[in-house]
């Protein structure tokens, strides 16, 4: 199971015990096939053809590979944004296939924070409101620190998160009024809203100039140091160079495991 | 942040869409409310006239058609073909009080007025008349007029003045207090005087009847029909026959209102569906940050409902105002037909409630389908939708 992973000496969870518990995300023979076209003339696109991998807890991992070879698909499946065609994804031993749609939503709300290439902020909401919106979905009765917050407490926490990403002064700006780098930092703050264990990012620097890229990268390193597991899909060598674990996806398969 | 706040932000920060969506809903509902109000106005006015008439039963000649019957409400001259003898035969029945009418037409200052022959001894009690000036007919003063309150004020007439009718001059001896129905528009004289002036021999137009026990009205009617060969209608029946004619007008109005409602519905459906299809990506984002399908549902149902509510309210206000301003023009012909009727739109609270309710219902239903479709996609599918 863990043949692809190694444990660098600074792996925060290595002390926790055996190798199995040190993996937070595991996939087993994961496939995703998109079927398009009509019932008569089906076109099958095998985006993933059986990926088995294991991402250590508290790690900074990157998924790399050429465009269109299944990196993003893999991230969507790991994040529970899409359902696998076959194979399994587990987070902390929880098998997605056994979760209902609502349970999967709760998992996304509380355990995972997403950052996308195109920021995906809600354009009608200000920076601080975007972060608060994520707290809205932190299910009641879950362990999320945002679950039982009043509107005031939400605001306080959202402002703290904006401070954390260095945008305290832009709280009332709408996404359209922010630069790409700033928008991405708001997205990172939003991803942290419910204090998830895992941050999943799809080309977080893909739309940024090099100065913004450096800003964002600094943020990510800081977050990683705070103990979060970070998984980044990227083309960017600047980013992948910082990775403790590198997974290369080619033709929907794991071409290179971390070494 | 809570769901309602999120919805309000969404609505208020898209001002252009907000206004046009709202207008789309409001205009449809405005047409609906306005048309119903105009139809309701006619019905309300006729019902008021009929119920104010004071008679439980109307005795008319057997050969009257519906239009003659309606004329009892409208003050048009009526044929005088009922023999006065009928009156005595009817009065023999226990528990009945009856009073005769002879409705003719004349003119004051070139304006048509109804001259009505009445029986001075019975009419005042029967119709609840009281005098505001002068006195009523007595055995000494028969060749005289008593005026309804509206006629007196309309032509600025007072006790002591003379009015020419059919070439004869009649002194005004009394003016009635307002009664609140067609009586206020009548010029009254005793039946024998009217028969003489209009050269009608011993005939009257119709007889109004009040019964002691309204629950036995059918028995009274049977008793009358047994004795004399006449037609007996209840005021309700007369009202029904008037309304039957007006009903065709009203049905037309309602049909137009219905069509405008359907048109409005499709407008609402189209607006809501477009609005939500455009926002699939947003739904995908909300899903990716952990909203459940039911959350998406809640958000869009609330949003659609708010649009429906606001659109319904704005539409009702526009519709009510439009019908109030338009009523005098649209119902002008109606005014001609119903002498003394005040053409007003009648806006029933139920109309408003129904309009707003429908508006909310249609909007929610229209928003539900695309929201459900969007929420049923996986977050990835929704977000990649452009």
Chain B residues in contact with A76 (beta carbon < 8 A): 380
Q: Inspect the interface and report whether the beta carbons of B378 and A83 lie closer than 8 Å.
A: yes
From chain B, the residues in CB contact with A101 under 8 A are 292-293
CA distances from residue A255 to A203, A249, B3, B132, B161 in whole angstroms, order as listed: 19, 5, 45, 108, 116
Q: Are B7 and B307 in contact (CB under 8 A)?
A: no
Close Cβ partners of B99 (under 8 Å, ≥ 6 residues apart): B118, B119, B122, B123, B126, B127, B207, B208
Question: Are B289 and A83 inside 8 Å of each other by CB?
Answer: no
What phi and psi values does residue A42 have, to the nearest 5 degrees?
Answer: -85, 140
How many Å lie between the alpha carbon of B307 and the closest alpha carbon of chain A? 17
Q: State how far residue A19 is from chain B, nearest Cα, in angstroms.
A: 30
Quote the pLDDT of residue B378: 83
Q: Quick one: DSSP state of residue A176?
A: G
Using only C-alpha atoms, chain B has a radius of gyration, in whole angstroms, of 31
Which residue in this structure is represented by tokens 């003016």?
Answer: B175
- What is the mean predicted confidence (pLDDT) over B353-371? 85
Contact A47, A248 (CB under 8 A): no
**pLDDT 10s digits, B186-243:** 899 999 999 999 988 888 999 988 888 777 888 888 888 888 888 888 777 776 766 6
The DSSP annotation for B347-361 comes to --HHHHHHHHHHHHH
CB contact under 8 A, A151 and B379: no
Nearest CA in chain A to B290: A109
B295 lies within 8 A of chain A by CB: yes
User: Cβ separation of B290 and A101 shorter than 8 Å?
Assistant: no
In this predicted structure, what is the pLDDT of residue B146? 94
A173 at B interface, C-beta within 8 A: no
Best CA proximity match to B176, nearest among B204, B151, B202, B211: B151
Q: What number is the average pLDDT over the span B65-71? A: 73
Output the pLDDT for position A216.
82
Domain boundaries, chain A: 58-82+100-256
Q: Which of B282, B294, B383 sits opposite A122 (nearest CB)?
A: B282
Per CB-CB distance under 8 Å, the chain B contacts of A132 are 1
Q: Which residue of A has its CA nearest to B295?
A: A137
Nearest chain A residue to B3, by CA = A136
Flag whether pLDDT at B352 surpasses 80: yes
Mean pLDDT of the region B106-113: 84
What percent of chain B lies above the pLDDT cut of 90? 14
Cα gap B349→A93, rounded to integer Å: 61
CA–CA separation, B206 and A56 (whole Å): 103
pLDDT tens sequence across B83-108: 888 888 888 888 888 999 999 888 88
Do A122 and B285 lie within an 8 Å CB cutoff? Answer: yes
pLDDT confidence band for B334 (50 / 70 / 90): low
Q: Do A110 and B290 touch (CB under 8 A)?
A: yes
What is the rounded average pLDDT of the residues B55-77? 76
**In A, which residues are within 8 Å of B288 by CB distance?**
79, 81, 108, 114, 116, 120
- How many CB pairs (< 8 A) connect A and B? 85
Q: pLDDT truncated to tens, each residue of chain A (259 aa)?
A: 443 444 443 443 333 334 444 889 999 999 999 888 777 888 888 889 999 999 999 999 999 999 889 998 999 999 999 999 999 999 998 999 999 988 999 899 889 999 988 888 998 899 999 999 998 887 655 555 666 678 888 899 999 999 988 888 999 999 999 998 899 899 999 999 988 999 999 988 887 888 888 888 888 888 899 889 999 999 888 888 889 999 999 999 998 777 5
A156 to chain B: closest CA residue: B1
Identify the residue with better confidence: B49 or B89: B89
Q: Provide the percentage of residues in chain B whose pLDDT is more than 70.
A: 86
Selection from B75, B78, B73 nearest residue B49 by Cα: B73
CA distance to partner chain B, nearest, from residue A120 (Å): 6
Q: Please give the pLDDT value at position B161.
A: 92
Distance of CA B299 to CAs A137, A175, B9, Å?
A: 12, 21, 11
Within 8 A by CB and 6+ apart from B259, the residues are: none
A99 close contact with B: CB closer than 8 A: no
Mutate to test the interface with A, among B283, B285, B290 (most CBs of A within 10 A): B290
Averaged pLDDT for residues B111-128 = 88
A-chain CB neighbours of B293 within 8 Å are 101-102, 105
Across the interface, whether the CB atoms of A82 and B379 are under 8 A apart is answered: yes
Secondary element (H or E) of residue B323:
helix B293-330
Q: Is A156 on the interface with B (CB under 8 A)?
A: no
| Contact check, Cβ <8 Å, A108/B289 | yes
Q: Decide: A91 and A46 in contact? Cβ < 8 Å.
A: no
For domain A58-82+100-256, give the CATH number. 3.40.50.300
CB contact under 8 A, B380 and A105: no
pLDDT surpassing 80 at residue B49: no
pLDDT tens digit sequence for B131-167 = 999 999 988 888 999 999 988 988 899 999 999 998 8
Is A108–B295 a contact, with Cβ atoms under 8 angstroms apart?
A: no
Q: What is the pLDDT of residue B376?
A: 82
The model's pLDDT over B162-189, given as tens digits with 9 standing for 90+, comes to: 999 988 899 999 999 988 777 888 899 9
Max distance between CA atoms of chain A, in angstroms, equals: 56
Query: Would you call A133 and B294 a contact, using CB atoms and an 8 Å cutoff?
Result: no
Question: In this predicted structure, what is the pLDDT of residue A144?
Answer: 59
| Mean pLDDT rounded to a whole number for chain B | 81
d(CA B89, CA B209): 13
What residues contact B71, with CB distance under 8 A and at least 6 apart? B77, B78, B103
Q: What is the ipTM of this complex?
A: 0.84
């Amino acid at each position: 199971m863990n043949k692809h992973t190694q444990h660098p000496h600074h792996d925060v969870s290595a002390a926790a015990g055996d190798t199995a518990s040190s993996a937070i995300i595991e996939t087993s023979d994961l496939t995703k096939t998109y079927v398009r076209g009509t019932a008569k003339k089906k076109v099958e696109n095998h985006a993933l053809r059986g990926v088995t991998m294991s991402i250590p807890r508290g790690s900074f991992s990157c998924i790399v590979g050429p465009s269109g070879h299944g990196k993003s698909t893999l991230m969507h499946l790991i994040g529970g944004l899409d359902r696998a065609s076959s194979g399994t994804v587990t987070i902390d031993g929880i098998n997605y296939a056994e979760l209902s749609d609502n349970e999967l939503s709760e998992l996304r709300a509380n355990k995972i924070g997403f950052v996308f290439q195109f920021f995906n902020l809600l354009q009608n909401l200000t920076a601080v409101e975007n972060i608060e919106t994520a707290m809205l979905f932190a299910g009641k009765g879950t362990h999320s620190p945002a679950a039982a917050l009043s509107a005031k407490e939400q605001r306080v926490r959202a402002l703290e998160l904006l401070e954390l990403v260095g945008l305290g002064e832009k709280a009332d700006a709408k996404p359209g009024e922010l630069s790409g780098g700033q928008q991405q930092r708001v997205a990172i703050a939003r991803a942290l809203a419910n204090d998830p264990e895992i941050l999943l990012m799809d080309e977080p620097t893909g739309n940024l100039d090099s100065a913004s890229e450096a800003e964002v990268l600094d943020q990510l390193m800081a977050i990683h140091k705070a103990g979060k597991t970070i998984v980044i899909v990227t083309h960017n060598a600047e980013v992948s160079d910082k990775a403790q674990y590198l997974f290369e996806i080619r033709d929907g398969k794991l071409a290179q495991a971390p070494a | 942040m809570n769901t309602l706040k999120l919805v309000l932000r969404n609505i208020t920060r898209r001002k252009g869409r907000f206004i046009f969506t709202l207008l789309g809903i409001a205009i449809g509902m405005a047409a609906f409310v306005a048309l119903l109000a105009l139809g309701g106005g006619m019905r309300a006015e006729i019902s008021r006239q009929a119920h104010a008439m004071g008679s439980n039963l109307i005795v008319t000649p057997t050969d009257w058609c519906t239009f003659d019957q309606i004329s009892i409400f409208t003050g048009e001259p009526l044929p005088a073909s009922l023999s006065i003898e009928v009156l005595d035969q009817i009065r023999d029945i226990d528990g009945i009080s009856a009073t005769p009418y002879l409705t003719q037409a004349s003119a004051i200052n070139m304006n048509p007025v109804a001259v009505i022959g009445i029986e001075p001894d019975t009419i005042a009690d029967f119709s609840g008349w009281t005098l505001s000036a002068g006195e009523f007919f007595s055995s000494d003063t028969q060749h005289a007029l008593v005026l309804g309150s509206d006629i007196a004020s309309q032509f600025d007439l007072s006790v002591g003045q003379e009015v020419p009718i059919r070439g004869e001059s009649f002194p005004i001896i009394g003016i009635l207090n307002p009664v609140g129905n067609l009586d206020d528009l009548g010029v009254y004289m005793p039946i024998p005087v009217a028969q003489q002036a209009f050269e009608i021999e011993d005939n009257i137009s119709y007889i109004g009847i009040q019964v002691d026990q309204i629950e036995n009205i059918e028995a009274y009617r049977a008793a009358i029909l047994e004795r004399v060969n006449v037609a007996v209608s209840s005021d309700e029946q007369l009202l029904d026959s008037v309304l039957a004619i007006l009903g065709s007008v009203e049905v037309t109005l309602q049909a137009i209102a219905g069509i405008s409602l359907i048109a409005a519905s499709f407008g609402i459906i189209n607006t809501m569906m477009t609005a939500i299809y455009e926002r699939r990506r947003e739904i995908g984002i909300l899903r990716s940050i952990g909203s459940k399908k039911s959350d998406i549902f809640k958000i869009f149902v609330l949003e659609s409902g708010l649009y429906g509510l606001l659109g319904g309210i704005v539409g009702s206000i526009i519709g009510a105002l439009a019908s109030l301003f338009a009523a005098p023009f649209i119902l002008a012909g109606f005014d001609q037909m119903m002498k003394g009727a005040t053409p007003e739109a009648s806006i029933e609270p139920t109309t408003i409630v129904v309009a707003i309710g429908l508006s909310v219902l249609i909007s929610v239903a229209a928003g539900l389908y695309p929201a459900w479709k969007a929420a049923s996609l996986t977050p990835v599918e929704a977000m990649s939708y452009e």
